[in-house]
Amino acid sequence: MASAPRNYPDLHEHLKKLEERGLLRKIDRAIDKDTELHPLVRWQFVGGVEEAERKAFLFTNIRDGRGRKYQIPVVVGAIAANPAIYSVGMQTDLHEIQAKWDRAIANPIAPRVVNHAVCHEVVHEGAALQGEGNGLDRLPIPISTPGFDSAPTLTATNVITRDPETGVQNMGTYRAALKAPDRLVVRMATRVGGAGGYQHYLKYQARGEKMPCAIVLGCPPYVAFMGPQKLPLGVDEFTVAGGLAGEPINVVRAHSVDLLVPAEAELVIEGLIDTEYLEPEAPFGESHGHVALEEYNMPMQVTAITHRKAPVIPSYISQVAPSESSVVKRVAYEPLFTTHLRHTLGIRGVKHVALHEPLTGLLRVTVITLEKGTARTEVWRALYGAAFFKGDCGKICIAVNEDIKVDNADALLWAMAYRMNPVEDVQVVPHRGQGHGPKREHAQEEDSTMLMDATMKGDMPPLALPKQEYMERAKEIWSELDFGPLRPQAPWFGYSLGDWLPEWDEAAKRAAEGRYLENGRISAQKRRKGLKPETKYRPDRDGER
Identify the burial level of 39 via C-beta atoms within 10 angstroms of its C-beta, where 0-12 means exposed, 13-18 middle and 19 or more buried. middle
pLDDT at position 464 is 82
Please check whether residues 429 and 340 belong to one and the same domain.
Answer: yes
Q: What is the DSSP letter of 541?
A: G
CA–CA gap between residue 453 and residue 379 (Å, rounded) = 7
Helices (H), 259-349: 324-339
**Domain assignment of residue 380, yes or no:** yes
The CATH number that applies at residue 430 is 3.40.1670.10
**Domain assignment of residue 139, yes or no:** no
Identify the burial level of 184 via C-beta atoms within 10 angstroms of its C-beta, where 0-12 means exposed, 13-18 middle and 19 or more buried. buried
Please check whether residues 529 and 436 belong to one and the same domain.
Answer: no
Please check whether residues 449 and 472 belong to one and the same domain.
Answer: no
Question: Percent of the chain beyond pLDDT 90?
Answer: 67
Question: Which of 453, 480, 504 represents a domain boundary (last residue)?
Answer: 453
Dihedrals phi, psi of 278, to nearest 5 degrees: -120, 160
Please check whether residues 447 and 331 belong to one and the same domain.
Answer: yes
Identify the burial level of 210 via C-beta atoms within 10 angstroms of its C-beta, where 0-12 means exposed, 13-18 middle and 19 or more buried. middle
Going by C-alpha positions, the residue among 445, 356, 461 that lies closest to residue 408 is 356
Please check whether residues 365 and 429 belong to one and the same domain.
Answer: yes
Summarised one tens digit per residue, pLDDT across range 160-186 is: 999 999 999 999 999 999 999 999 999
**Which residues are bridge partners to 399 per DSSP?**
368, 453
pLDDT at position 251 is 98
Going by C-alpha positions, the residue among 245, 287, 236, 278 that lies closest to residue 264 is 245
Question: Which of 406, 425, 453 represents a domain boundary (last residue)?
Answer: 453
Please check whether residues 424 and 510 belong to one and the same domain.
Answer: no
Question: Which of 453, 481, 503 represents a domain boundary (last residue)?
Answer: 453
CA–CA gap between residue 394 and residue 388 (Å, rounded) = 7
**Domain assignment of residue 397, yes or no:** yes
Please check whether residues 514 and 448 belong to one and the same domain.
Answer: no
Please check whether residues 414 and 449 belong to one and the same domain.
Answer: yes
Please check whether residues 340 and 430 belong to one and the same domain.
Answer: yes
Please check whether residues 441 and 495 belong to one and the same domain.
Answer: no
Q: Is 540 helix (H, G, I), strand (E, B) or coil?
A: helix
Q: Is 39 helix (H, G, I), strand (E, B) or coil?
A: helix
Please check whether residues 422 and 333 belong to one and the same domain.
Answer: yes
HSE-up of residue 328 (Cα within 13 Å, Cβ side) = 29
Going by C-alpha positions, the residue among 185, 177, 183 that lies closest to residue 131 is 183
**Domain assignment of residue 318, yes or no:** no
Number of independent structural domains in the chain: 2
Identity of residue 362: L
pLDDT at position 544 is 43
Summarised one tens digit per residue, pLDDT across range 64-80 is: 989 999 999 999 999 99
**Domain assignment of residue 96, yes or no:** no
- Domain ranges, residue 528: 468-541
Strand-strand pairing, 396-401 and 446-453: parallel
**Domain assignment of residue 98, yes or no:** no
Q: Are the C-beta atoms of 293 and 32 separated by less than 8 Å? A: no
pLDDT string in tens for the chain (545-residue length)? 556 789 999 999 999 999 999 999 999 999 999 999 999 998 998 787 888 999 999 999 999 989 999 999 999 999 999 999 999 999 999 889 989 998 999 999 999 999 999 999 999 999 999 999 999 999 999 999 898 899 999 999 999 999 999 999 999 999 999 999 999 999 997 665 568 999 999 999 999 999 999 999 999 999 999 987 778 878 999 999 999 999 999 999 999 999 999 999 999 999 999 999 999 999 988 766 678 888 899 999 999 999 999 999 999 987 777 788 778 878 888 888 999 999 999 999 999 999 998 877 777 899 999 999 999 999 999 999 999 988 778 899 999 999 999 989 899 999 999 999 999 999 999 988 766 666 554 556 788 999 999 999 999 888 887 889 998 988 898 899 898 888 888 888 888 999 999 999 999 899 889 898 999 999 999 889 989 887 888 887 654 44
Summarised one tens digit per residue, pLDDT across range 312-339 is: 999 998 777 778 877 887 888 888 899 9
Please check whether residues 532 and 416 belong to one and the same domain.
Answer: no
**Domain assignment of residue 237, yes or no:** no
**Domain assignment of residue 226, yes or no:** no
